[in-house]
Amino acid sequence: MDVGVLTDVPYGMERARVEADLAAAGLGGLITPVLTSVDVGHRKPASAGFLRLAAELGVPVAHLLYVGNEQKDIDGANRAGARSVLIDREDRQPSWGAWARVRRLDEIVALLEGLGP
């Protein structure tokens, strides 16, 4: 399983800041690709970033499982044809049309196992 990142950043924000955040979380160098809205030229919920993320991971967008915590994450993933997963840590249960909802990232393992090979 490959893991990538697609994140919105302010226009002109240096990529190094995103990479520093990932490193601070203990993920430095473990996640490839790391794409920002500046890299793809569009902010979420535009489909462009999701499509590019799938392409860089080498999977059809229909096989992309995109985890996000905002409506724009879910809307964008759905529009692009990916499976959207809402991480809902506060158990708000918004009805944004997510394919699945989790409260913790470790719950994604069970989702992946349920998809089969």
Show the tokens assigned to 37: 């809205």
Which of the pair, 15 or 50, is modelled with greater confidence? Answer: 50
Task: State the pTM of this model.
Answer: 0.91
∠ CA 114-32-82, rounded to 5°? 40
52 contacts 68 by C-beta, under 8 angstroms: no
- Which residues in 20-71 belong to E strands, given as ranges? 34-36, 65-68
Domain boundaries, position 105: 5-115
Q: What is the pLDDT of residues 15-43, one digit of tens each?
A: 889 999 999 999 888 899 999 999 999 99
Question: What CATH number is associated with residue 64?
Answer: 3.40.50.1000
Q: Is 81 exposed, middle or buried (0-12, 13-18, 19+ CB in 10 A)?
A: middle
Spell 102-114 as b/e; 16+ CB within 10 A means b. Answer: beeeeebeebeee
Mean pLDDT of the chain: 93
Please count the structural domains in the chain: 1
**Residue 117 binned pLDDT confidence (cut-offs 50, 70, 90):** low
Q: What is the pLDDT of residues 94-113, one digit of tens each?
A: 999 999 999 999 999 888 88
108 contacts 65 by C-beta, under 8 angstroms: yes
